[in-house]
């Protein structure tokens, strides 16, 4: 599991969800700048979740997919994710990726899910 404490220590506001359905439900009350999600989750996979989130989100966001598999090449096209990282997570790479995605959006403070 992703270490929430390490992310909070970097100053990000963090909201968590155990399933894709919970994450989608939280979008109305929590407008994240960056979402970090697994691909394999109970109930729906990350690709389905991301497709729904992109449709219903009241505000734009960036998304990072985490997976034990490498999703390079055509599998990434149209996935709804802006970046893909392979587990086990290298936290320095994760933080660089978060910072890069936030910078692309004009230097907003980051929030993670």
| Residue 45 forms part of a structural domain | yes
Sequence-distant (≥ 6) Cβ neighbours of residue 6 within 8 angstroms? 91
| Residue 105 forms part of a structural domain | no
Number of domains in the chain: 1
| Residue 34 forms part of a structural domain | yes
Q: What is the pLDDT of residue 113?
A: 44
Q: Could you report the average pLDDT of every consecutive run of 10 residues in the chain (113 residues)?
A: 81 91 92 92 90 92 88 63 91 94 64 42
Distance CA 42, CA 18 (A): 8
Structural domain containing residue 31? 20-74
Residue found by looking up tokens 């729906």 in the block: 44
| Residue 80 forms part of a structural domain | no
Q: What is the pLDDT of residue 75?
A: 53
């Amino acid at each position: 599991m992703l270490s929430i404490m390490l992310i909070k220590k970097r100053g990000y506001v963090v909201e968590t969800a155990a399933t894709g359905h919970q994450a989608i439900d939280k979008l109305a009350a929590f407008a994240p700048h960056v979402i970090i999600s697994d691909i394999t989750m109970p109930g729906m996979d990350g690709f389905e979740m991301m497709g729904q989130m992109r449709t219903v989100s009241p505000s734009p966001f960036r998304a990072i997919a985490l997976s034990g598999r490498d999703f390079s090449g055509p599998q990434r096209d149209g996935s709804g994710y802006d970046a893909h990282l392979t587990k086990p997570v290298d936290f320095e790479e994760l933080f660089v990726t978060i910072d890069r995605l936030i910078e692309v959006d004009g230097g907003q403070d980051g929030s993670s899910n």
